[in-house]
Amino acid sequence: MENLLSIFVKSIFVDNMIFAYFLGMCSYLAVSKKVTTAVGLGAAVIFVLGITVPINYLLENFILKEGALAWLGADYAGIDLSFLGFIMFIAVIAAMVQLVEMVVERFSPSLYASLGIFLPLIAVNCSILGGALFMQSRAYENIGEATVFGLGSGVGWFLAIVAIAAIREKLRYSNVPAPLRGLGITFILTGLMGVAFLSFAGIKL
């Protein structure tokens, strides 16, 4: 339990997707003009990361990894399919996003209306594939840890995009030098926020 909590907090603050690894920056910069849309996209990212990371975890450990096919019988124990990793992960992500979109549309039209346009965008959000690849390289012990890691990364991304959207809303009333307006000042702000997040780096749970 302690272990799970530690992974959760670590993936939100210390290994924040945006401030430590710059993943999902494209949509982070494009969809952070208003807080309400930022909340919608952030929620969709939490949702999709929480689903795709455990699925990719199962895929990695029961199909792709060297020796992972041992459950089929001793003959298959020596097979290493890890070269298929990228294609499998991205296919799972694209398919899951499509599936999630259909399920949400069927069972919760109101949620669909608020997330609707963002869901298809998420398939090419780097933070989703990044979640799968970090899960692979950090070799989590069981599916619980992988799920918690996925959710935590999603929450970290959510916090980052909502925070920058709030700042950008306020920024409208300030006098930014013309060439720095828009994109430039957003970069510098994100850098400053990243410096603030660096202070979490020493925390050990």
C-beta of residue 163 within 8 angstroms of C-beta of residue 32: no
Which of 6, 22, 37, 61 forms a contact with another protein (CB under 8 A)?
A: 22
Q: Which of 106, 177, 199, 202 binds another protein (CB under 8 A)?
A: 177
Instruction: Tell me how crowded residue 7 is: count the other CB atoms within 10 A of its CB.
Output: 23
Q: What is the rounded CA–CA span in Å between residue 103 and residue 122?
A: 16
Our CB check for another protein shows the closer of 76 and 86 to be 86
- Burial-class residue 192 by CB neighbours within 10 Å (0-12, 13-18, 19+): exposed
Per-residue binder mask for another protein (CB under 8 A), 125-154, x = binder = xx-xxx--xx-xx-----------------
Nearest-CA neighbor of 170 among 186, 156, 191, 192?
Answer: 186
Interaction residues for another protein, span 25-54 (CB under 8 A)? 25-26, 29-30, 33
Whether the CB-CB separation of 203 and 14 falls below 8 Å is answered with yes
CB of 135 to another protein, least distance (A): 10
Q: Is there binding between residue 9 and another protein (CB under 8 A)?
A: no
Which of the ranges 64-72, 84-92, 100-108, 144-152 carries the binding residues for another protein, by CB under 8 A? Answer: 84-92
> Is 191 an interacting residue with respect to another protein (CB under 8 A)?
yes
How many Å apart are CA 113 and CA 73, to the nearest integer?
Answer: 47
Query: Within the chain, where are the H helices?
Result: 2-9, 25-30, 35-59, 85-107, 109-115, 118-122, 126-138, 143-171, 183-198
Q: Is 73 a binder of another protein (CB under 8 A)?
A: no
Q: Token digits for 119?
A: 């869901």
**Is 111 a residue that touches another protein (CB under 8 A)?**
no
Kindly tell me which of 74 and 183 has the beta carbon lying closer to another protein. 183
The yes or no reply on residue 74 touching another protein (CB under 8 A) is: no
Number of residues in contact with another protein under rule CB under 8 A: 53
Residues interacting with another protein, by CB under 8 A? 19-26, 29-30, 33, 83-87, 89-91, 94-95, 120, 123-126, 128-130, 133-134, 136-137, 172, 177-188, 190-195, 198
